[in-house]
Amino acid sequence: MVIQTTINKPKFMSEVRHNWTKEEILAIYNKPLMELLYEAATIHRVHHDPNVVQVSTLLSIKTGGCSEDCGYCPQAARYHTNVDGNDLMTVNQVKAQALRAKSGGSSRVCMGAAWRNVKDGPEFDQVLEMVRTINKLDMEVCCTLGMVTENQAKRLAEAGLYAYNHNLDSSEEYYKEVISTRGYEDRLETIDNVRKTNVTVCSGGIIGMGESVEDRAGMLVALSTLDPQPESTPINALVAVEGTPLEDEKPVEIWEMIRMVAATRIVLPETQVRLSAGRTQMSREGQAMCFFAGANSIFAGDKLLTTPNPDVSEDMKMFEMLGLNPQKPFTKKVQPQTVEADNSEYKGLGEKPKWTRPEHKIERNESKKKEALELRKQ
Ligand code: SF4
């Protein structure tokens, strides 16, 4: 017997809107929880199979030593954290990790490099070769390499890239409180450059950085007004790392995470909503509620770039218990064709990026720190 898990689409639920207002999203976020869950879960079933969850493995191909000042990030060279920097991995190392991820049930490998932006040259050529190699393993390939120009995005597309991740992080207003070395418009420009190719866009943010609920709604306004909306949206809960300006932020409550996931599902109905950083702080019950609220993707592997993540076997046990199945690769979009390096149409086309360098400077929030210390004493 086939159990029907999706429902017919009432018109208001199948609509993808690009004109959400902050007030509307706030009203959704603040609904009584049971109503919010019911609405989000219903919309989820209209657009997705609720028993399928996409599994990605995040691989840090170049760790630490970054010139930027993202207040949450232990990889920024200017903060004193315990992150050991590494040079760019070799193609063979990446291939071995990708095969391991595939055998663990991942359909996607996301490669992250701690760079402000991509620079044309041997290192970028090496990344392109990694993309070709993983695409040939019949896995979806995603990269998160910082800002990219249009030509670089096209070269990644030719290599067989499936998705490019570039998070908006927060609302435009709060972004300035967390990052000062590049602006919100730079982020949007990179997303725009990726959109000029057939590579899908992955963009989301982080909650628990001291932002208000209005800022969370503001980020969802920014994501929903992108046309098309991102194909995937990671919702991270801050992992406060000692040595970063946000080290004293208190952990995100599970209810905030559930509300954020549900609101994201309603506002971005077709997007894959990903539970990302902060999953180690969540119980299985909490994660199950997030899946019910519309999350349908996770990062697997014991590390997320530099912060801890649940073990793959733990995740598979959770999937079994909840009756969830990992999504097969290329379910949403066909596998990109790889163009070999010698045949690249865009090779050698240099461009001058127009990224900004804003003047303001991120400082530790002393009053927040005091507040957090007081809370810990209670
Ligand atoms: S988030 Fe990325 S750009 Fe920002 S400091 Fe970390 S590695 Fe650099």
Residue 256 domain flag: yes
Residue 7 domain flag: no
Question: Do β-strands 295-300 and 52-62 pair in parallel, antiparallel, or remain unpaired?
Answer: parallel
The span from the first CA to the last CA of the chain, in angstroms, equals: 55
Name the band, by pLDDT with cuts 50, 70 and 90, for residue 169.
very high
Q: Which of 31-35, 78-82, 151-155, 362-366 has the lowest mean pLDDT?
A: 362-366
Residue 37 domain flag: no
Task: State the average pLDDT for the chain.
Answer: 90
Residue 216 domain flag: yes
Residue 339 domain flag: no
Residue 179 domain flag: yes
Active site residue 274: yes
Name the band, by pLDDT with cuts 50, 70 and 90, for residue 368.
low
Segments forming the whole domain that contains residue 294:
52-328+350-372
Q: What's the structural domain count of the chain? A: 1
Active site residue 73: yes
- Helix intervals (H) in the chain: 11-14, 22-29, 33-47, 91-103, 122-136, 150-159, 172-178, 184-195, 213-224, 254-267, 284-292, 312-322, 366-377
Q: Which of 39-53, 80-94, 305-319 has the lowest mean pLDDT?
A: 305-319
- What is the position in ligand 1's atom list of the atom closest to the CA of 66? 8
Q: What average pLDDT does range 254-271 have in this prediction?
A: 97
Q: Read off the tokens for 126.
A: 């090496």
Q: Which of 23-32, 268-277, 343-352 has the lowest mean pLDDT?
A: 343-352
CB under 8 Å to 190, separation ≥6 — which residues? 146, 147, 148, 166
CB under 8 Å to 117, separation ≥6 — which residues? 145, 146, 147, 148, 353, 355
Q: Please name which of 231, 199, 240, 235 lies closest in space to residue 219, comparing C-alpha atoms.
A: 235
* Separation of CA 332 and ligand 1 centre (Å): 29
- State if residue 88 touches ligand 1 by the CB under 6 angstroms criterion: no
The Cα–Cα gap between 212 and 216 comes to 7
Residue 151 domain flag: yes
- 26, 269 contact by CB (below 8 A): no
pLDDT higher for 371 or 216? 216
- State if residue 114 touches ligand 1 by the CB under 6 angstroms criterion: yes
Report the predicted TM-score, pTM, of the whole model to 2 decimal places. Answer: 0.91
> Which CATH number is 361's domain given?
3.20.20.70
Residue 226 domain flag: yes
pLDDT of residue 305: 64
Question: Do β-strands 307-308 and 303-304 pair in parallel, antiparallel, or remain unpaired?
Answer: antiparallel
